[in-house]
Amino acid sequence: MELDVLNAVLKPKSIAVIGASATPGKIGYTVVDNLVTSQYEGAVYPINPGASEILGFKAYPSILEVPGEVDMAVFTIPAKLVLNAIEECGKKGVKGLVVITSGFGEVGKTDLEREMVEIAHRYGMRILGPNIVGVLSNSMKMNASFAPTLPLPGKGALVSQSGALLIAIDMSTFTRRVGFDKLVSIGNMSDIEFADLIEWFDQDDDTTSISLYIEGLKNGRKFMEVSQKATKPIIALKSGVSAHGAAAAASHTGSLAGAAKVYGAAFEQAGVIQASDLNNLFDRSLALSLQPPMNGENLLIITNGGGVGVLATDAAERYGIPLKFAPEDVQAELKKHMPEFGSAKNPADLTGQASAEWYENSVRNSFAHPWVDGLTVLYCEVAVTDPMDVAVGIKRAIDESGVKGKPLTVSFVGGEKTEAAMQWLVEQGIPAYDDPDSAVNAMAALREYALMREHDATFTKADTSSAKEKAMKIIAAARADGRDALTEIEAKKVFEAYGLPVPKCDLAATEAEAIQMANTIGYPIVMKIVSPEILHKSDAGGVKVNIKNAEECRQAFNTIMENARNYNPAANLHGVVIQEMAPWGTEVILGSINDPTFGPTVMFGLGGIFVEVLKDVTFRVAPISEKRANVMVNEIKSAPILKGVRGEEPKDRAALAKTIANYSNMVFDLIDEVSESDANPVIVYEEGQGVSVVDARMILKK
Ligand code: ACO
């Protein structure tokens, strides 16, 4: 049903332009003119109270006077007139509204924007915009916008949150030779948002990939859900990556988060491929709209130039698909199509005298070989070989190889003739780039897509309802006590309920209790003050470690209590935690934030200097599987320390991944109650020895 309604703005059979004008230069004129120029085949109804005819179409004073059905209404009247006109559209039975008009939420008029959506929804209409350029579709021959022309035809769709950028992209499709079937300006997203369009494009036969320029999402979770389900590649360029809200964030994790890292994590989890800049968005969109994913890690490069071969080799490593030498049989076959002094390794260098025929034969044979998961062909313009002949040879070889489901990218470096050859290749469905780096980066996008699709397709969160029940009781008790933070021991009980390995611990209110608990837990022990008013326990002289016997325990209890009283005479002292002393290992940190866009989010990093100075941390939107937690463990820069370097034993990364996954379940379950939590430090031992959450903190929502 929802998708049907979106047909009204993406595949309308009839369009009314409310505010159509006969005056050239006005947006209301340009939209009608664009519908004419793009040869839109549906009915066009200009609406203007003072005109009888506009650009050859009969004009109507009101939409209510239009004789036929109207699927979509494009608004080019000033903001103050919009509400009334929407009401009339509702009465007329219009289905979709494309509101080009500015002057709503973007200038603080959020009430006006809300009212507009309310009226539209009352009539079952959906709104694209306001504050947009419009909608352009090659397959519909529809330029319902004030952008100059339809883009160069292509197979992908692109949605932009910036109108000006959409126009710029539109025009540059011709110079970049990267076409799109549809361009959609999404503006203020008062109603239709990215998630709606992704869903629609995913089922649209004229769309093979979905490119997004995102400034900010309104509903991050919905975006993730829809993207995860999508069967077509999604490529996103996210702008505004400065650490928003970081300064305001009180906690460690908050200040380390920032939009870029959390968006990056959410994209990875949702299977959305990222673009680093506008050029990269074009490069990656082209490849993903034309080629299948790269389902293995073996990339073969064929070249006629050593220089571009080395550049491509460097790029392959940089973008995560490092080259390997091709197997003997692949090399033997390649050697048949190169001179004695060529190289059949990888890159396969056919040398500068390579003919179009050598290219064709080496591509034909290698592309079909099972070792090759993806092929990048490089060509430098030389006088002995015509670029178009090489292009035609490559295309013929690919077709004749009969191989489907393997990707190919091409880079031709040279002058006008290579430009023409590349344009021809793109028209044949082969992404071609004017530098080797882009061709390899595009292949890397196809590899990323394959990896993302493999990942966690079946993950569902474990049932943690009994852990949640225990946690809620502890939280309720703290709230009843008038507190908005759990004590360390309470936090550890919550962590424990979620399967996080905390050291044995108990709270002693008296010296006698302390000794009895210490005897039960077993020495050595650590003792720490418990007081809601004393957060920095060490500063207060409230921590004693390596207590070896009952006498030391008695002394430590009294010293800690006295130090705490002196430090803050008004503090409410609950007693002293008696805790099993965890042996030392590698320190890591887990933290959580409630991200404004994606909600509960977990952070992982190495502790100590790594987190303080290097900010070597990574994020994921909760909950996550152990598999994904394992990716977090292995993707931080200091991961080699956990893998074991310089004779050090590898650390228990499996136990760590399990702990992170359990922690993410806790963060997800308790998001309505807990504003922040951390486990800092968590000690990781050698493989098979597990981890220990030595300190736990949990701040409740006010
Ligand atoms: N129904 C239909 N037509 C009407 C009505 C009505 N109720 N009332 C007035 N009109 C007619 C007007 O008479 C006029 O036609 P005319 O030229 O024959 O007189 C026409 O509608 C347009 O109205 P104007 O008052 O002339 O409005 P104008 O064209 O100056 O501006 C516009 C309207 C373009 C919507 C403006 O308010 C606006 O929002 N501009 C910004 C749009 C924009 O940039 N959006 C994208 C942002 S992204 C980016 O930056 C690229």
Please say whether the beta carbons of 551 and 594 come within 8 A.
no
**Nearest-atom index, ligand 1, CA of 47:** 2
Pairing, β 53-54 against β 57-58: antiparallel
What's the gap in Å between 10 CA and the centre of ligand 1? 22
What's the gap in Å between 190 CA and the centre of ligand 1? 19
What's the gap in Å between 170 CA and the centre of ligand 1? 22
What's the gap in Å between 296 CA and the centre of ligand 1? 53
**How much helix, strand and coil, in percent to the nearest 5, is found in the chain?**
40, 20, 35
Which H helix or E strand runs over 185? strand 180-185
Instruction: Give the predicted TM-score (pTM) of the model.
Output: 0.89
* Angstrom distance (rounded) from CA 439 to CA 347: 14
Cis link prior to 130 (omega < 30° from 0)? yes
Whether 253 shows a pLDDT value over 50: the answer reads: no
* Angstrom distance (rounded) from CA 204 to CA 644: 49
Whether 246 shows a pLDDT value over 50: the answer reads: no
What's the gap in Å between 75 CA and the centre of ligand 1? 8
* Angstrom distance (rounded) from CA 320 to CA 292: 18
Whether 256 shows a pLDDT value over 60: the answer reads: no
What's the gap in Å between 82 CA and the centre of ligand 1? 10
What's the gap in Å between 40 CA and the centre of ligand 1? 22
Q: Whose CA is nearest to atom 21 of ligand 1?
A: 19
* Angstrom distance (rounded) from CA 461 to CA 478: 27
What's the gap in Å between 51 CA and the centre of ligand 1? 14
What's the gap in Å between 31 CA and the centre of ligand 1? 11
Short-list 183, 27, 208, 201, CA closest to 100: 27
Q: Whose CA is nearest to atom 16 of ligand 1?
A: 21
**Nearest-atom index, ligand 1, CA of 62:** 1
Give residue-wise pLDDT tens across range 354-366: 999 999 999 998 9
**Nearest-atom index, ligand 1, CA of 185:** 48
**Nearest-atom index, ligand 1, CA of 132:** 46
**Nearest-atom index, ligand 1, CA of 167:** 51
Short-list 598, 588, 592, 590, CA closest to 260: 598
Res. 177 pLDDT band, cuts 50 70 90: confident
What's the gap in Å between 97 CA and the centre of ligand 1? 15
The reported pLDDT for the residue numbered 254 is: 44
* Angstrom distance (rounded) from CA 323 to CA 315: 10
Q: Whose CA is nearest to atom 3 of ligand 1?
A: 19
* Angstrom distance (rounded) from CA 441 to CA 429: 17
The reported pLDDT for the residue numbered 361 is: 95
Q: Whose CA is nearest to atom 19 of ligand 1?
A: 21
**Nearest-atom index, ligand 1, CA of 76:** 35
The reported pLDDT for the residue numbered 221 is: 93
Whether 683 shows a pLDDT value over 60: the answer reads: yes
Beta strands in 502-563 (DSSP E): 505-508, 525-530, 543-547
What average pLDDT does the structure give for the chain?
92
Whether 439 shows a pLDDT value over 70: the answer reads: yes
Whether 299 shows a pLDDT value over 90: the answer reads: yes
What average pLDDT does the segment 79-88 reach?
97
Q: Is pLDDT larger for residue 407 or for residue 215?
A: 407
The reported pLDDT for the residue numbered 442 is: 98
Q: Whose CA is nearest to atom 24 of ligand 1?
A: 77
What's the gap in Å between 52 CA and the centre of ligand 1? 18
Res. 242 pLDDT band, cuts 50 70 90: low
**Nearest-atom index, ligand 1, CA of 166:** 51
| Low-confidence winner among 36-40, 56-60, 134-138, 448-452 (lowest mean pLDDT) | 448-452
What's the gap in Å between 413 CA and the centre of ligand 1? 47
Short-list 62, 129, 125, 117, CA closest to 95: 125
Residues of 614-631 as b/e, b for ≥16 C-beta within 10 angstroms?
Answer: eebbbbbbbbbbbebbbb
Lining ligand 1 with CB less than 6 A are 18-19, 21-23, 26-28, 47-51, 76-78, 81, 85, 100-103, 131-133, 163-164
* Angstrom distance (rounded) from CA 502 to CA 310: 51
The reported pLDDT for the residue numbered 259 is: 64
Give residue-wise pLDDT tens across range 218-229: 889 999 999 999
Q: Whose CA is nearest to atom 4 of ligand 1?
A: 19
**Nearest-atom index, ligand 1, CA of 85:** 7
Q: Whose CA is nearest to atom 15 of ligand 1?
A: 21
What's the gap in Å between 76 CA and the centre of ligand 1? 4
What's the gap in Å between 28 CA and the centre of ligand 1? 6
Beta strands in 230-304 (DSSP E): 234-238, 272-274, 299-303
Please say whether the beta carbons of 265 and 621 come within 8 A.
yes
What's the gap in Å between 24 CA and the centre of ligand 1? 12
**Nearest-atom index, ligand 1, CA of 84:** 7
Short-list 318, 515, 304, CA closest to 414: 304
**Nearest-atom index, ligand 1, CA of 78:** 37
What average pLDDT does the segment 462-476 reach?
95
**Nearest-atom index, ligand 1, CA of 164:** 51
What average pLDDT does the segment 56-63 reach?
97
The reported pLDDT for the residue numbered 615 is: 79
Pocket mutation for ligand 1, best pick of 27, 77, 166, 169 (most atoms within 8 Å of C-beta): 77
What's the gap in Å between 61 CA and the centre of ligand 1? 15
Beta strands in 485-573 (DSSP E): 505-508, 525-530, 543-547
**Nearest-atom index, ligand 1, CA of 51:** 18
Pocket mutation for ligand 1, best pick of 15, 27, 52, 190 (most atoms within 8 Å of C-beta): 27
The reported pLDDT for the residue numbered 252 is: 40
What's the gap in Å between 17 CA and the centre of ligand 1? 10
Q: Whose CA is nearest to atom 49 of ligand 1?
A: 163
**Nearest-atom index, ligand 1, CA of 162:** 48
What's the gap in Å between 645 CA and the centre of ligand 1? 66
Residue type, 327: P
Give residue-wise pLDDT tens across range 178-208: 999 999 999 999 999 999 999 999 999 999 9
Q: Whose CA is nearest to atom 11 of ligand 1?
A: 19
Q: Which residues fall within 8 angstroms of residue 24, CB to CB, at 6 or more apart?
A: 33
The reported pLDDT for the residue numbered 610 is: 67
Please say whether the beta carbons of 410 and 398 come within 8 A.
no
> What Å distances lie between residue 428 and 183, 208, 421, 422, CA to CA?
22, 15, 11, 10
**Nearest-atom index, ligand 1, CA of 133:** 46
Pocket mutation for ligand 1, best pick of 23, 26, 166, 215 (most atoms within 8 Å of C-beta): 26
What's the gap in Å between 214 CA and the centre of ligand 1? 27
Say what percent of the chain tops pLDDT 90: 81
Say what percent of the chain tops pLDDT 70: 96
What average pLDDT does the segment 106-123 reach?
96
Task: Map residue 379 onto helix, strand or coil.
Answer: strand
The reported pLDDT for the residue numbered 67 is: 95
**Nearest-atom index, ligand 1, CA of 103:** 39
42: which 2 tokens?
A: 């549906």
